[in-house]
Amino acid sequence: MNLHVILGYPLLFVAVLELLLGIVLLRQNPRNSRVNKAVAAFSFFSAAFSLSTALMYLSAAAGRNPVPFARINWIGWLSIPAALQFVFYLRSEASREARIVGYVLYPFWTLILVLCLTTDLIVTDRYVLIPFQNPHGPLEHAARFIGGGLIVWLGVEILRLRREVTGIKRAQLNYFFTGTLIFAASGSLAAGFLQLFGGFGFEPGLSAYFSFPWVVMTVYAIMRYRLFDIRIVLSNLLNGALLFGLFAWAQLLLFQALSPLVGNAPAILLSLSVLVLLFFGTPFSKRLRVLVQRTVLQDRYLYQGVLRESIKAIVTILDFDELLDYIADTIRKTFRADSVALYLRDPRGRFFPRQGTGGATPALEDRPLDPAIVDLVRQTGEAVIREELEGLLPDDSFRALNRALRDMGAELLVPLRYKGQLEGVLAVGQKGDGEAFLQSDIDLLDALAGHAAVAIENARLYDEAHRARESLEASDARLAEMAKHSLRKALSE
């Protein structure tokens, strides 16, 4: 095994990881976020860069000309505008700077790539990998200097954004920022400025190796901070691969069996017709998908389906106590949670427990929710996970909040908001399967909390209207009784 092979094959693995990450980011993008799209574009361009570098070295190992892949390798510079757009879109989804970057830099680097593929102005035919020799084209130094400068700008913007982002979002993005900075710093040096002085024997395509820390740290951040459930995409990919493999294998067998009898062309037509009918005209493919989902996801789709049905059901319940019971019981049964408690705001602005099941029942005493917990939920404006508070808060604050949350038996706090005001807090204990709450779980609980807040307010109004009607009926009865009494008294006189 020569050095070309040793350098080439690992980059195939890096390219696959980056390609899968890009697919995950596009598939798990329910809000059609431009941030996700920018990171996905960054992943795809990085994957193309790693793949072209791998093929360049593997083609040289096979005795073929690596120069075409050295030309294609310049596609990696298109990851710069994608990364810059991510930074600007993270500040604002309507960022004007992000649009300008897209309008200017994508055409610029596309033009550079076209020049690489069609001329010797940047990459020449005398490109040698080992030992590295690169007789520069007339425009190569200028292009690499611009690219290096843009990467430095990207690093500065990442550092600025890292200081601006606070709270849970900072922890979620910290690994991504760190990985991107490693990739950017090494890329600007190895593929940019270092090449202006001859490269010192370092072939610029090898900077694709520095994308490996970025993709690993990004995937870890996705799983560690539950940005979404990556297993859903893996389940779909596995299902597709199995269907393709079974279809291809069955088609080959049928073709070999039929071709001696009816000939090649009719055998192809008959085998494809039978397999299309079998795979797509029967429940076979659906049952295979269910089997894969149960294997990879266990019962995740089942309980998420229950939550979706619950969201529809709670808007139809008008009795206040029945509604609170239904919300608490549904969440506890779905997640098999240790405890579930609902804290609702009273007229004085304090949050008292109104309903609870499981371990939360003993805590339903006549005492309000800790004001520090209320402030935390109000300030974040989103679900709060107990274990993620460590490192986001000062030690003293974390210890006090952690103690209060443990006393409540709460692993997750979800705000209940109505017309922009915090009207309640949903406290959920640890899941029965011992797994952490995923972002898909939290999104569903957020949706449930949003509908629950409206339903609770409607139930309150219904109860108030019912009490007002009963009071009015009682008043009418008293007035009628008084009128009868007055009439009888008048007649007796």
Indicate which CATH number applies to the domain containing 414. 3.30.450.40
Q: What pLDDT, in 10s, does the model give residues 397-456?
A: 667 777 777 777 788 888 888 877 888 888 888 776 666 676 667 777 777 777 777 777
Q: Tell me: do 39 and 159 sit in the same domain.
A: yes
Q: Tell me: do 306 and 381 sit in the same domain.
A: yes
Integer-rounded Cα Rg, in Å, for the chain is 32
Q: Tell me: do 240 and 259 sit in the same domain.
A: yes
Average pLDDT, the chain: 78
Q: Tell me: do 182 and 269 sit in the same domain.
A: no
User: Mean pLDDT: which of 97-101, 362-366, 475-479 is highest?
Assistant: 97-101
Of all residues in the chain, the percent with pLDDT exceeding 90 is 14
CATH code where residue 83 lies: 1.20.1070
Q: Is residue 474 part of a domain?
A: no
pTM exceeds 0.85: no
Q: Tell me: do 151 and 81 sit in the same domain.
A: yes
441-447 contact pairs (CB < 8 A, 24+): 441/226, 441/304, 441/335, 442/226, 442/383, 442/385, 442/412, 442/414, 443/30, 444/304, 444/307, 444/308, 444/311, 445/307, 445/331, 445/383, 445/412, 445/414, 446/382, 446/383, 446/414, 447/307, 447/311
Mean pLDDT of 361-383: 72
Q: Tell me: do 28 and 153 sit in the same domain.
A: yes
Tell me the pLDDT band of 1, cut-offs 50, 70 and 90: low
Tell me the pLDDT band of 396, cut-offs 50, 70 and 90: low
Tell me the pLDDT band of 171, cut-offs 50, 70 and 90: low
3-state SS class at 39:
helix
Q: Is residue 38 part of a domain?
A: yes
Q: Tell me: do 276 and 352 sit in the same domain.
A: no
CA atoms of 144 and 121, how far apart (whole Å): 13
The total number of structural domains in the chain stands at 3
CB 342 within 8 A of CB 327: yes
Q: What pLDDT, in 10s, does the model give residues 282-330?
A: 877 777 776 766 665 555 544 555 556 666 666 666 677 777 777 777 7
Looking at residue 77, what is its pLDDT?
92
Which helix (H) or strand (E) is 357 found in, with range? strand 351-358
pLDDT at 492 > cutoff 70? no
95 Cβ neighbours under 8 A, 6+ residues apart: 85, 88, 89
Domain that residue 154 falls in: 3-228
Out of 271, 297, 323, a domain closes at 297
Looking at residue 85, what is its pLDDT?
92
Q: Is residue 481 part of a domain?
A: no
Q: Is residue 459 part of a domain?
A: yes
Alpha-carbon torsion 180, 182, 184, 187, what sign?
negative
Out of 276, 297, 318, a domain closes at 297
Q: Tell me: do 293 and 308 sit in the same domain.
A: no
Q: Tell me: do 51 and 167 sit in the same domain.
A: yes
**Backbone torsions φ then ψ of 291, nearest 5 degrees:** -65, -45
Q: Tell me: do 331 and 257 sit in the same domain.
A: no
Q: What pLDDT, in 10s, does the model give residues 123-167?
A: 888 888 888 888 888 998 999 999 989 999 998 988 888 887 665
Q: Is residue 402 part of a domain?
A: yes
Q: Is residue 89 part of a domain?
A: yes
pLDDT at 461 > cutoff 60? yes
Q: Tell me: do 247 and 184 sit in the same domain.
A: no
Q: Smallest Cα–Cα separation from 121: which of 112, 129, 130?
A: 112
Q: Tell me: do 241 and 194 sit in the same domain.
A: no
Q: What pLDDT, in 10s, does the model give residues 173-229?
A: 777 788 888 888 888 888 888 887 777 778 888 888 888 888 888 777 766 655 555
Of all residues in the chain, the percent with pLDDT exceeding 70 is 76
Q: Is residue 69 part of a domain?
A: yes
Out of 179, 199, 228, a domain closes at 228
Q: What pLDDT, in 10s, does the model give residues 354-365?
A: 777 665 444 445
Looking at residue 307, what is its pLDDT?
59
Q: Is residue 292 part of a domain?
A: yes
Looking at residue 361, what is its pLDDT?
46
